[in-house]
Chain A
């Protein structure tokens, strides 16, 4: 268990800069998730921590020790790959123990470690199988097992759930959360493009875009106080309604509360809206999604923007109905540069 510190880290391939000066502080035992759209540099950053990519400039420290020049194997990290990268010709047991065996660990000790990891992951009955005889979820466990066996200071996960089907993804997500506490709170760094995974798993989320850190914080922090328009739009499902405003007025001229004076955009989460005959937002329903526990209503505003709101189950009208909504929750306000203006 170790802390991980990134200080002014950059990475270039020739002329193209993909990581543009990143500072991140990850505490001991923290579950930290790097999230962002594809191409934001999150996987590259993870691979730089692992030692699979060179660091162009800046420092990476693990447990207070600078590791820039260290071999991947000496950094005390273990990685779970997106494709799992299991050795296809080896049994599960050998897959998990391979690294240790090759480094001269005694067989009995390796066996004990593999058995222990298999017990934690409940894959004891699979130890004699080859990867191709396993289901996707089982392979995933073996890949995690291979990391556990190494007893690393830091676990690195590179989109480990993206090859699983939706149902299994949810189940495995829960398993991972349990695993984190089971491993006495090992430090874990987890890369994903799925903000739901980030919200549910993380102690700390790092939102990345275009090689920059957009915001760092606890999941609810990011949800409640997004630092900018990008984070506001990225975190939360369904997405926050972002409306461009001018001179404290909506595009259709409706005046906004005083808090929005000087704002470039306002942001309203779907559940911050409710039917209100005197509300500021109006529109025509285009689609209603009835999920049983809630109705999501998509409606078109007079200025042609599609917005989302949430109704109690069975209370929404149908497509074509006109609605009028008032603001019942928090209104996020962003200046003309997209930065949040604190309420």
Chain B
């Protein structure tokens, strides 16, 4: 009934409203990252202080937790194990999925729709369903007790998603590019390496970033594979076991955890766009 024009409180101009929203979001973000920030601060507190000082900021900052975790809790070994598995699986997965995505996306190969269909069908199979045969297979191949086996199996996690990402990207490239190559007498392998692959750079970065995340954070697979072989643990499994073995060493645990998250968080902050694009691409496809 009141005049519509004056109904709006002039206090809430669009700009004011945005500022208010920003403040609320800032508060939410602070709560959201609080656990991570708390952990990083805690890793610099000596164990005695951890239990007595409820505040976030350490009174007497120390790196002794890191020294202890790195040396005594084998975190150094776990760190390099994880690095090996991550780098290796990223290299293999990107190459394999790019090649397969290219062929499935734009080559008139007999049987490609059958392969695509099969792949899509398996898209949602849970890891818990496949873990036993994967473990058996690695054991039979003699890779059940080796980092190579873990690395290869880690490649399997998202190969389907990555292949579909590549296929979707290659499908929409103009076919004249390949025809130009054919006219120039450039063979299929060289066409792929010099023309198609460089053009797929955004997808390559996305796949590298997402596979790094996946491999670095993987848990069930390395847990199962390293059950009988602690020397092969990755950081995730190492930290998990740390909790079981030295439960009172909060300082050591938080230090080890910080070591585990710093590389991946740095990777995320620097290549944020590719994480986002990759995920967005996955849901649009």
Q: Which chain B residues border A84 with CB–CB below 8 Å?
A: 176
* Chain-A contact segment, one of B32-40, B142-150, B182-190: B182-190
CB pair A52–B182 under 8 Å, yes or no, is: yes
Interface digits, A67-89 against B, CB 8 Å rule (1 contact, 0 not)? 00001111001110111110111
CB pair B186–A79 under 8 Å, yes or no, is: no
Q: How far is the CB of B62 from chain A (nearest CB, A)?
A: 51
Q: Which chain A residues border B118 with CB–CB below 8 Å?
A: none
- Asked whether B80 is an interface residue with its Cβ less than 8 Å from the other chain, the reply is no
CB pair B179–A81 under 8 Å, yes or no, is: yes
Q: Which chain B residues border A73 with CB–CB below 8 Å?
A: 182-186
Given A79-B180, A88-B199, A89-B199, decide whether A103 and B174 contact each other with a Cβ distance below 8 A. Answer: no
* Docked CA distance A74–B201 (Å): 31
Instruction: Give the A-B contact count at a CB cut-off of 8 A.
Output: 63
Q: Which chain B residues border A98 with CB–CB below 8 Å?
A: 184, 186, 194
Q: Which residue of B lies closest to A85 (CB)?
A: B176
* Docked CA distance A146–B214 (Å): 44
Q: How far is the CB of B203 from chain A (nearest CB, A)?
A: 14
Q: Which residue of B lies closest to A88 (CB)?
A: B199
CB pair B190–A81 under 8 Å, yes or no, is: no
Q: How far is the CB of B172 from chain A (nearest CB, A)?
A: 13
Residue among B174, B180, B183 with max Cβ neighbours from chain A (10 Å)? B183
* Docked CA distance A81–B184 (Å): 13
Q: Which of A50, A82, A88, A100 contacts B183 (CB 8 A)?
A: A50
- Asked whether B57 is an interface residue with its Cβ less than 8 Å from the other chain, the reply is no
Q: Which chain A residues border B185 with CB–CB below 8 Å?
A: 71-74, 99, 102-103
Q: Which residue of B lies closest to A97 (CB)?
A: B184
CB pair A150–B184 under 8 Å, yes or no, is: yes
Bin chain B's interface residue count. 10 to 19
- Asked whether B262 is an interface residue with its Cβ less than 8 Å from the other chain, the reply is no
Q: How far is the CB of B164 from chain A (nearest CB, A)?
A: 23
Q: Which chain B residues border A87 with CB–CB below 8 Å?
A: 177, 180, 195
Give residues of chain A (171-196) contacting chain B, Cβ–Cβ below 8 Å.
none
CB pair A85–B174 under 8 Å, yes or no, is: yes
* Docked CA distance A102–B183 (Å): 12
Bin chain A's interface residue count. 20 to 34
Q: How far is the CB of B69 from chain A (nearest CB, A)?
A: 45
Given A89-B198, A102-B190, A102-B194, decide whether A83 and B174 contact each other with a Cβ distance below 8 A. Answer: yes
Q: Which of A74, A78, A99 contacts B186 (CB 8 A)?
A: A99
* Docked CA distance A72–B186 (Å): 10
**Main secondary structure on chain B at its contact with chain A?**
helix
CB pair B199–A102 under 8 Å, yes or no, is: no
Q: Which chain A residues border B201 with CB–CB below 8 Å?
A: 89
* Docked CA distance A253–B207 (Å): 77
Q: Which chain A residues border B198 with CB–CB below 8 Å?
A: 89
Q: How far is the CB of B225 from chain A (nearest CB, A)?
A: 40
* Docked CA distance A282–B66 (Å): 102
Q: Which residue of A lies closest to B173 (CB)?
A: A88
Q: Which chain A residues border B190 with CB–CB below 8 Å?
A: 102
Q: How far is the CB of B205 from chain A (nearest CB, A)?
A: 14
Given A81-B179, A89-B198, decide whether A102 and B174 contact each other with a Cβ distance below 8 A. Answer: no
Given A89-B198, A89-B199, A102-B190, decide whether A71 and B176 contact each other with a Cβ distance below 8 A. Answer: no
Q: How far is the CB of B190 from chain A (nearest CB, A)?
A: 5
* Docked CA distance A78–B180 (Å): 9
* Docked CA distance A289–B174 (Å): 41
CB pair A81–B180 under 8 Å, yes or no, is: yes
* Docked CA distance A99–B198 (Å): 16
Q: Which chain A residues border B186 with CB–CB below 8 Å?
A: 73, 98-99, 102-103
Q: Which of A50, A51, A77, A85 contacts B177 (CB 8 A)?
A: A85
Q: How far is the CB of B173 from chain A (nearest CB, A)?
A: 10
Q: Which chain A residues border B199 with CB–CB below 8 Å?
A: 88-89
CB pair A85–B184 under 8 Å, yes or no, is: no
* Docked CA distance A113–B187 (Å): 22
Given A88-B199, A89-B198, A89-B199, decide whether A102 and B176 contact each other with a Cβ distance below 8 A. Answer: no
CB pair B177–A72 under 8 Å, yes or no, is: no
Q: Which chain B residues border A146 with CB–CB below 8 Å?
A: 180, 184
Interface digits, A92-120 against B, CB 8 Å rule (1 contact, 0 not)? 00000011101100000000000000000
Q: Which chain A residues border B177 with CB–CB below 8 Å?
A: 85, 87
CB pair A83–B176 under 8 Å, yes or no, is: yes
* Docked CA distance A88–B185 (Å): 19
Q: How far is the CB of A159 from chain B (nearest CB, A)?
A: 12
Give residues of chain A (118-162) contacting chain B, Cβ–Cβ below 8 Å.
146, 150
Q: Which chain B residues border A89 with CB–CB below 8 Å?
A: 198-199, 201
CB pair A99–B174 under 8 Å, yes or no, is: no
* Docked CA distance A77–B183 (Å): 8
Q: Which residue of B lies closest to A94 (CB)?
A: B194
Question: Can you list 30 A-B pairs with a CB-CB distance of less than 8 A?
Answer: A51-B182, A52-B179, A52-B183, A71-B182, A71-B185, A72-B179, A72-B182, A72-B185, A73-B182, A73-B183, A73-B184, A73-B185, A77-B183, A78-B183, A79-B179, A82-B176, A83-B174, A83-B176, A85-B176, A85-B179, A87-B195, A89-B198, A98-B184, A98-B194, A99-B184, A100-B184, A102-B184, A102-B190, A103-B185, A146-B180
Question: B-contacting residues of A (Cβ < 8 Å)?
Answer: 50-52, 71-74, 77-79, 81-85, 87-89, 98-100, 102-103, 146, 150
Question: A-contacting residues of B (Cβ < 8 Å)?
Answer: 174, 176-177, 179-187, 190, 194-195, 198-199, 201
Q: Which 8 A-B pairs have the closest CB atoms?
A: A99-B184, A73-B185, A85-B176, A85-B180, A102-B186, A89-B198, A81-B176, A72-B182
What would 13 more interface pairs be, CB under 8 Å, given A52-B183, A81-B176, A82-B176?
A: A51-B183, A52-B179, A81-B180, A83-B174, A85-B176, A87-B177, A99-B183, A99-B184, A99-B185, A102-B185, A103-B184, A103-B186, A146-B180
